[in-house]
């Protein structure tokens, strides 16, 4: 089960639960729905997570390059007695054992993953960078200089941490920077900040965050979309977009739209607009979209063969869902020759 957390319970209820039988195995890329009870597998089946510690496109990129992303595996149910062996073999098949595999539990994987995302890797870093940018520009410094100092150079620091921990990062920078780390870091990350982190962890462990997230998605993602729009309007985004346009050496993901946190931008997808014959312009193959997201692309199809549409021209694959659940189920888009029902 590799679909986003908010869609998994619907996919499971509609397309998996009616067909699952004793002896089957459920494999999850993240433990969210098991940990918080949105999916409750029956007895008699194995339930395991194989969780690469990176986004899917990075897992694929590293695999193709002959490397791998570290994986976390666990066993929630072991009806067969060989669930852990299957988890290890799955991790090896996607390149995880090239980098290392760690044993854990669904609870530990889910709670630590959510905490890392919210308090440090995404929420913490993003808002720290924004606050630093605002502090410099409000003091009269050029936004371009502020961007380089608080965002662009972050990659250099993170790469050093990735190679040898915080110690190697401190070893690599100047004595001035290292001393500033020691005396000024605690002024930014105060005991009050750590207390806030503990509160974030409490919300994760209690299920309060999961409920807020799922309730919002069931309500059309109104809070999520409003926050995304608000953050996209931050001045650091416009500054960065202009600067990055001058970088000759920048790396690009073919399915990323510059300046947008959304999967795609352009045309809003609805159930009706996903019917065969719908056309979207300038489509780049290999992307994934969801009902309600904005997309650019184009596909054509016909129904001449047993009502299973084939595709011609500049083509993609789109999963068709029933109108009653179109707001909550994913639409997978990838280079293909056939429309597939999920």
Q: How far is CA 297 from the centre of its chain?
A: 22
User: Which residues have C-beta within 8 Å of that of residue 181, sequence separation ≥ 6?
Assistant: 170, 173
DSSP H helices in 116-190: 123-138, 143-147, 154-172, 175-188
Instruction: Tell me how crowded residue 57 is: count the other CB atoms within 10 A of its CB.
Output: 14
Catalytic residue among 10, 30, 234, 246: 30
Note the pTM of the prediction, 2 decimals: 0.73
Catalytic residue status for 30: yes
User: What distance in Å separates the CA atoms of residue 105 and residue 129, rounded to the nearest whole number?
Assistant: 33
Looking at the DSSP bridge assignments, the partners of residue 18 are none
Give the CATH number of domain 5-107: 3.40.50.720
User: What distance in Å separates the CA atoms of residue 111 and residue 304, rounded to the nearest whole number?
Assistant: 49
User: What distance in Å separates the CA atoms of residue 71 and residue 10, rounded to the nearest whole number?
Assistant: 26
Look at residue 327 in the predicted model and tell me its pLDDT: 34
Looking at the DSSP bridge assignments, the partners of residue 48 are 27
Q: What is the pLDDT of residues 31-67, one digit of tens each?
A: 999 999 999 999 999 999 999 998 888 999 999 999 9
Query: How many residues in the chain?
Result: 342
**Span 3-29, average pLDDT:** 95
Q: What is the pLDDT of residues 245-255, one digit of tens each?
A: 888 766 656 66
Domain 117-243 = CATH 1.10.1040.10: yes
Q: What is the pLDDT of residues 208-238, one digit of tens each?
A: 999 999 999 999 999 999 999 999 999 999 9
The domain spans of the chain are: 5-107, 117-243, 262-342
User: What distance in Å separates the CA atoms of residue 325 and residue 323, rounded to the nearest whole number?
Assistant: 5
């Amino acid at each position: 089960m590799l679909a986003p957390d908010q869609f998994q319970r619907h996919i499971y209820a509609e397309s998996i639960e009616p067909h699952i039988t004793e002896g089957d195995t459920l494999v999850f890329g993240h433990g969210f729905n098991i940990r918080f009870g949105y999916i409750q597998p029956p007895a008699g089946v194995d339930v395991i997570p194989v969780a690469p510690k990176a986004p899917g496109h990075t897992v694929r990129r590293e695999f193709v390059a002959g490397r791998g992303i570290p994986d976390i595996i666990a066993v929630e149910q072991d009806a067969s007695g060989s669930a852990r062996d299957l988890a290890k073999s799955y991790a090896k098949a996607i390149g995880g054992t090239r980098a290392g595999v760690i044993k854990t539990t669904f609870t530990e994987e889910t709670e630590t993953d959510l905490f890392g995302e919210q308090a440090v890797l995404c929420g913490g870093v993003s808002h720290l960078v924004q606050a630093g940018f605002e502090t410099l520009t409000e003091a009269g410094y050029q936004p371009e200089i502020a961007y380089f100092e608080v965002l662009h150079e972050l990659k250099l620091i993170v790469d050093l941490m990735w190679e040898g921990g915080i110690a190697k990062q401190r070893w690599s920078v100047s004595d001035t920077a290292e001393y500033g780390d020691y005396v000024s870091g605690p002024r930014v990350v105060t005991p009050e900040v750590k207390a806030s982190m503990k509160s974030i962890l409490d919300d994760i462990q209690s299920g309060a965050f999961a409920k807020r997230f799922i309730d919002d998605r069931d309500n059309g993602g109104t809070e999520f979309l409003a926050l995304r729009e608000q953050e996209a309007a931050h001045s650091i985004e416009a500054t960065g977009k202009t600067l990055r346009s001058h970088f000759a050496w920048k790396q690009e993901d073919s399915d990323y739209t510059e300046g947008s946190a959304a999967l795609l931008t352009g045309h809003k997808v609805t159930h009706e607009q996903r019917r065969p014959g719908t056309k979207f312009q300038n489509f780049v193959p290999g992307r994934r979209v969801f009902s309600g997201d904005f997309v650019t692309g184009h596909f054509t199809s016909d129904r001449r063969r047993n009502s299973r549409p084939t595709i011609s021209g500049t083509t993609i694959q789109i999963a068709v869902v029933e109108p009653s659940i179109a707001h909550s189920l994913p639409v997978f888009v990838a280079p293909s020759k056939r429309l597939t029902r999920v």
